[in-house]
Amino acid sequence: MADSGTRTARPLTRRDTTLILFALAMGGFAIGTSEFVPMGLMPDLARGLAVGEPQVGHAISAYALGVVVGAPLLAILGARLRRRPLLLALMGFYALGNVATALAPGYHALLAIRFIAGLPHGAYFGVAALVAASISRPDQRGAAVGRVMLGLAIALLVGNPFATWLGHTFHWRWAFALVAGIAVLTVVLVARFLPPDPDEPRQDPIRELRDFNRSQVWLALAIGAIGFSGMFCVFSYLAPTLVHVTGVAESWIPLGLVAFGIGGVIGSLAGGWLFDRLQFRAAAVVLAWSAMVLLAFPFAAHSPWLVLPAVVAVGTMGALAPILQTQLMDVAGGAQTLAAASNHSAFNAANALGPWLGGMAITAGFGWTSTGYVGAATAVAGLLVYAWARRDARRLRLAACTG
């Protein structure tokens, strides 16, 4: 068992570890369903709230900004709590946020509520990733983190299409009520399977803040915020792209979400596997792949035969999440909780940046498929930040050797 995480009074068996990872992944399933279902329900939300589809994109960005603010804030406020009660509190808050979303009286109230609902997102994933890594062998940390992130990917494959169908068939509010129920189930599972650890060391918020201010931490976060935004740029406008460009019926939208979810599952597993073998170099591989996939998407979007495989490929960009999550654990020093949570601030900065850039291109008249070109540009920008991070790492090693 790794020495940096949750310790228990007795050694964990393989079954114990599997059940803990399953419970943690269930929280990722709830979060993934809630985060992405507005994209599948974009036409329904627009009709129900009497706004345009770009305005629904603002609700997506409001949630993402909530994650950006909430991840570091709640990580600092919860630094002195043990990880088990912190996870329970964060997921309980998430359940309440989605109940409030389901009851939102209008568009502006929805914007505020989605911001609040996003607050615990990053802190939950950050703490869950630390727990997952701590109960795993050192050479399997990336795979363990990838399994927690797998809940997010399965949400795209199963939860999001089902919630989208539920929203289409009955009302969009039922989709968020479903998420609240999954969040409550997560609380039950974590309480049941993750044992308390009376010997877990308490974190020092001051040390977390001090160690967080490292160049390698900030550069890893910048890779996520910039390089990952292309995926959200395309995915946020997938529903209208399928309808207006591919020329298929709205009934195809859940199929598009399933395709994206398949890609997400592949990416979550591949990202952890790549990190365990290539370490940080895996980020460059995924970013280069992302640029190629996004450049191909505008051409594939015009064909019903090619669009779904292209969406699968876009979903595989999720491999970047476990790679950067594990990299941050390696470079954050005493800022483990803050850095792990802030990784999701970075990804949701990407979730805010991607729809915003894509919306600007669409509004400027470049068409729905312009999101692919915009996304490819952000992936290339992420590669440039990666090169900067590698150069900075060499500088730090040289300084350590000569100092």
Domains and CATH numbers, the chain: 14-193+201-402 (1.20.1250.20)
Residue 7 clears pLDDT 80, i.e. is over it: no
Residue 4 clears pLDDT 60, i.e. is over it: no
Residue 8 clears pLDDT 70, i.e. is over it: no
Residue 304 clears pLDDT 80, i.e. is over it: yes
* pLDDT score recorded for residue 372: 93
Short-list 246, 249, 354, CA closest to 300: 246
* pLDDT score recorded for residue 213: 81
Joined tokens for residue 176: 């968020």
Confidence of residue 388 (pLDDT cuts 50, 70, 90): very high
CA–CA separation, 318 vs 151, rounded Å?
Answer: 12
What's phi and psi for 9, nearest 5 deg?
-70, -25
Share of the chain above pLDDT 70, in %: 94
Tokens 């589809």, residue?
53
- Tell me 8's DSSP state: -
Residue 5 clears pLDDT 60, i.e. is over it: no
Looking at per-residue pLDDT, the higher value among 84 and 97 belongs to: 97
Joined tokens for residue 325: 């999550």
Tokens 């979550």, residue?
268
* pLDDT score recorded for residue 2: 42
Task: List pLDDT tens digits, range 126-185.
Answer: 888 888 877 777 767 777 888 888 888 788 778 877 888 888 888 888 999 999 999 999
Short-list 96, 222, 69, 350, CA closest to 77: 69
Mean pLDDT of 369-383: 94
* pLDDT score recorded for residue 179: 93
CA–CA separation, 240 vs 42, rounded Å?
Answer: 8
* pLDDT score recorded for residue 183: 95
* pLDDT score recorded for residue 379: 95
Question: Is 325 in contact with 229 (CB distance < 8 Å)?
Answer: no
CA–CA separation, 252 vs 304, rounded Å?
Answer: 10
Residue 14 clears pLDDT 80, i.e. is over it: no
* pLDDT score recorded for residue 198: 64
Give the number of other CB atoms < 10 A from CB of residue 349.
23
Share of the chain above pLDDT 90, in %: 32
What's phi and psi for 375, nearest 5 deg?
-65, -40
* pLDDT score recorded for residue 278: 87
Looking at per-residue pLDDT, the higher value among 229 and 156 belongs to: 229
* pLDDT score recorded for residue 298: 94
Q: What is the mean pLDDT of the chain?
A: 85
Mean pLDDT of 23-28: 92
* pLDDT score recorded for residue 130: 82
* Distance, CA of 5 to chain centre: 22
* pLDDT score recorded for residue 204: 66
Mean pLDDT of 210-214: 80
Question: Measured at the alpha carbon of residue 190, what is the angle toward residues 96 and 20, in degrees to the nearest 5?
Answer: 140
For residues 297-323, one letter each, b for 16 or more C-beta atoms within 10 angstroms of the residue's C-beta and e for the rest, the string is bbebbeeeeebbebbbbbbbbbbbbbb
Task: List pLDDT tens digits, range 343-366.
Answer: 878 887 887 788 889 989 998 888
Residue 375 clears pLDDT 90, i.e. is over it: yes
Residue 1 clears pLDDT 60, i.e. is over it: no
